[in-house]
Amino acid sequence: MKTKFKISLCLIVFFLISGLTLSACTFNLATKVKQNISELAEELFFGENDDAYVTITSGYREQPFEYDGVCNESVDFCVIDVVFKNNLSLSEIDAQITINDKAHQITLEKNPFKSSFMFDLQKSIDASDHIFFTFNEKQIDLTCKSKDFSINYEKALNIGIENTLEKLKNLTSRGSFKGECYLKIINNPLQNSKLFYWFFSVKGQDGSTFSVIIDPITGSVLAKY
């Protein structure tokens, strides 16, 4: 009876230690991944009128921005993205963005990969900021959509890591993480510009790529690539 008890106790201790070791390894990997983030979106503002949709995303990203699997020093960004409901045959537009009564005159350039105009203010914004965009004497008030997310950027990052653990492990060598990670907020203007999702993606130094799309309300993983 004592022998059986000792065996049972040894098994319990073994599984307990194994579980703790596994948790520690997962924690260490997550820490390394978070130390190699090349872009992380924190706040999202959105507004529209009869002419255009305006989206502003703010956070930090590497500088210079290179999609090469290596994470560099980061700087703040505040990207203004304008999609006109009727396409404009222009290469750039002049507009004004006002944040808490401070106006910025900006020139937005046509994005060569999609039908929008973009500009980076290279600063961070806060969820409580009052922001509006002015073009052709028409003003668009923007509201902070990320405030309504049940899943903030920290939770989204953890969900992304948890759902790509095995692939992330494959990018770890001799205690170092050989890749860079991105956490963006995306939408699909062709379907509904007002629906947004978290997009966690990884670029390995070996050329591998993988990503996860996350619902910002439920935290559900909608797709893996």
At residue 97, the pLDDT reads 98
**pLDDT below 50 — which residues of the chain?**
2, 4-24, 27
Whether residue 62 lies inside any domain: the answer is yes
Q: Which domain, by its residues, includes 58?
A: 43-147
pLDDT, position 89: 85
SS3 5: helix
- Indicate whether 7 belongs to any domain: no
Instruction: Residue 92: give its domain's CATH number.
Output: 2.60.40
Domain total of the chain: 1
- Residues 19-30 have pLDDT tens digits of 433 344 554 899
pLDDT at 115: 82
In SS3 terms, 75-103 reads as EEEEEEEEEECCCCCCCEEEEEEEECCEE
Q: Give me the pLDDT at residue 192, please.
A: 59
**16 lies in some domain:** no
In a domain, 36, yes or no: no
Q: Is residue 5 part of a domain?
A: no
Strand 37-48 with 179-188, pairing: parallel
CB 37 within 8 A of CB 201: no
